[in-house]
């Protein structure tokens, strides 16, 4: 039986956080594995250049507390992620500065990753992918602590421990995975392969203040009040889904895919250690396109093509918020967004519904909307 550590933590008070993290380190005997001279990667979520109060990225106080504990063990700390968009030193520095990690690294003497190298990793046990191109900042670490931020997600419903590992894929290569696996069930299956390939040593989720609604970048910050930790990213996500009121085995694509492969269990089959894990009320959860995926797989193509526009969610651009920066156009995996005089336009017929445009828009100018019929069916 997998064990997941549950720690109530109401805010980003440094002393309170480090106390909870010490208990987590003790529970999972981290000192037995992190030794002097070893390198430890703190794999944060650095989706885009938003300040900590936006709740888009792993909070810098949370990261600082973990870095302190790792350095107490004599190990070297490196903070890393591959954000959305190009994987360049310039973009990394900008994101480090905006998210509070640049100042943190300067104060604490911690290394921020600027290594842009990558390598091809074979994974013969993959069901959907048998090799991955992985950023070297991940593979060269002796010990990896996965530090996801708990948020809702327009494509995957929730982003947490499993989805955070997608940040080990360098920059724009992520778009290729979206393009080759446009259905959420296929994409989720690939994420399971990736998690099995990368095998983080420990996952500690920042679920103190997360995001609800139009996540992972355009939603609303919400106090969740927990730190959730464990050895299995699947078990951590199962507990996090329970907290948000999501049934992971029926509604969360990544955990559904993991369960089909015998990698995850229901919340009842996971030992929850520490504080009591509650279920939050009225968390705003995005309606992912489960119904259209079902139609694509079950109905003849001519019928599914006719029904699809009536059911599938689509990106809608709010031109009054748009600055015409063209980030959505440059980062569209399917290359179906064009810049017009009034702003971006999307070719909905060829849109793969990955919603990278919404995920990467800094100005919250992209909203995911579902047609009326799709909304009615989703609620059934």
Mean pLDDT throughout 224-237?
99
Q: Does residue 281 lie within any of the structural domains?
A: no
In this structure, the answer to whether residues 28 and 125 fall within a common structural domain is yes
Q: Does residue 19 lie within any of the structural domains?
A: yes
Measured in degrees and rounded to the nearest 5, phi and psi for residue 118 equal -145, 160
- Measure CA of the first residue to CA of the last residue in the chain; give whole Å: 34
Domain endpoint, select from 221, 246, 274: 274
Q: Does residue 280 lie within any of the structural domains?
A: no
Q: Does residue 282 lie within any of the structural domains?
A: no
Q: Does residue 267 lie within any of the structural domains?
A: yes
* pLDDT tens per residue, range 303-316: 655 666 666 788 99
In this structure, the answer to whether residues 228 and 330 fall within a common structural domain is no
Share above pLDDT 70 across residues of the chain, in percent, rounded to a whole number: 91
- pLDDT given for residue 313 in this prediction: 83
Rounded Cα–Cα distance for residues 297 and 294 (Å): 5
pLDDT for residue 236 is more than 60: yes
In this structure, the answer to whether residues 152 and 267 fall within a common structural domain is yes
Q: Does residue 173 lie within any of the structural domains?
A: yes
In this structure, the answer to whether residues 253 and 329 fall within a common structural domain is no
What is the reported pTM?
A: 0.90
In this structure, the answer to whether residues 261 and 324 fall within a common structural domain is no
Residue 72 is part of which domain span?
3-274
Rounded Cα–Cα distance for residues 238 and 246 (Å): 9
Q: Which residues pair with 94 in a beta bridge?
A: none
* pLDDT tens per residue, range 341-367: 889 999 998 998 888 998 889 999 999
Q: Does residue 279 lie within any of the structural domains?
A: no
Half-sphere exposure of 35 (CA within 13 A, CB side): 3
Read off the CATH number of the domain in which 42 is found: 3.40.50.11440
In this structure, the answer to whether residues 231 and 334 fall within a common structural domain is no
Read off the CATH number of the domain in which 350 is found: 3.30.70.20
In this structure, the answer to whether residues 219 and 312 fall within a common structural domain is no
Q: How confident is the model at residue 380 (pLDDT cuts 50, 70, 90)?
A: very low
- pLDDT given for residue 49 in this prediction: 96
- pLDDT given for residue 118 in this prediction: 97
DSSP state letters, 324-378: ---HHHHT-TT--EEEETTEEEE-TTT-----HHHHH-TT--EEEE--HHHHHHH
In this structure, the answer to whether residues 260 and 303 fall within a common structural domain is no
Q: How confident is the model at residue 291 (pLDDT cuts 50, 70, 90)?
A: very low
In this structure, the answer to whether residues 294 and 267 fall within a common structural domain is no
Contact 32, 51 (CB under 8 A): no
In this structure, the answer to whether residues 234 and 375 fall within a common structural domain is no
Pick the more confident residue, 152 or 368: 152
* pLDDT tens per residue, range 242-275: 999 999 999 999 999 999 999 988 999 999 999 9
In this structure, the answer to whether residues 269 and 344 fall within a common structural domain is no
* pLDDT tens per residue, range 75-118: 999 999 999 889 999 999 999 999 999 999 999 999 999 999 99
What integer best gives the mean pLDDT of the chain? 92
In this structure, the answer to whether residues 221 and 328 fall within a common structural domain is no
């Amino acid at each position: 039986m997998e064990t997941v550590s549950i720690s109530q933590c109401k805010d980003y008070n440094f002393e309170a956080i480090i106390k909870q993290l010490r208990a987590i380190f003790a529970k999972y005997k981290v000192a037995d594995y992190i030794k002097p001279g070893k390198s430890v990667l703190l794999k944060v979520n650095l989706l885009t250049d938003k300040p900590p109060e936006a709740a888009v990225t792993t909070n810098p106080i949370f990261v600082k507390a973990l870095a302190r504990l790792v350095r107490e063990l004599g190990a070297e700390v490196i903070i890393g992620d591959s954000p959305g968009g190009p994987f360049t030193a310039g973009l990394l520095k900008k994101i480090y500065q905006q998210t509070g990690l640049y100042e943190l690294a300067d104060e604490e003497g911690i290394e921020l990753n600027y290594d842009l190298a990558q390598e091809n990793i074979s994974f013969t046990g993959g069901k959907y992918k048998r090799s991955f191109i992985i950023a070297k900042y991940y593979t060269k670490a002796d010990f990896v602590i996965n530090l996801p931020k708990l948020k809702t997600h327009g494509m995957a419903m929730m982003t947490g421990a499993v989805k955070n590992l997608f940040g080990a894929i360098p920059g724009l290569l992520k778009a290729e995975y979206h393009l080759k696996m446009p259905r959420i069930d296929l994409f989720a299956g690939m994420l399971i392969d990736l998690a099995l390939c990368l095998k983080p040593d420990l996952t500690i989720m920042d679920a103190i203040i997360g995001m609800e609604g139009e996540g992972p970048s355009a939603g609303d910050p919400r106090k969740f009040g927990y730190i959730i930790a464990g050895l299995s990213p699947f078990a951590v996500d199962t507990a996090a889904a329970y907290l948000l009121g999501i049934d992971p085995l029926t509604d969360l694509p990544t955990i559904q895919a993991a369960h089909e492969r015998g990698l995850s269990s229901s919340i009842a089959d996971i030992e929850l250690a520490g504080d009591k894990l509650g279920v939050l009320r009225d968390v705003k959860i995005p309606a992912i396109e489960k119904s259209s995926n079902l139609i694509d797989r079950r109905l003849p193509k001519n019928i599914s093509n006719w029904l699809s526009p009536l059911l599938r969610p689509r990106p809608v651009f709010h031109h009054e918020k748009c600055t015409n920066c063209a980030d959505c156009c440059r980062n569209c995996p399917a290359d179906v967004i064009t810049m017009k005089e009034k702003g971006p336009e999307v070719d909905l017929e060829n849109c793969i519904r990955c919603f990278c445009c919404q995920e990467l828009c800094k100005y919250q100018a992209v909203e995911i909307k579902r047609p009326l019929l799709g909304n009615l069916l989703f609620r059934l």
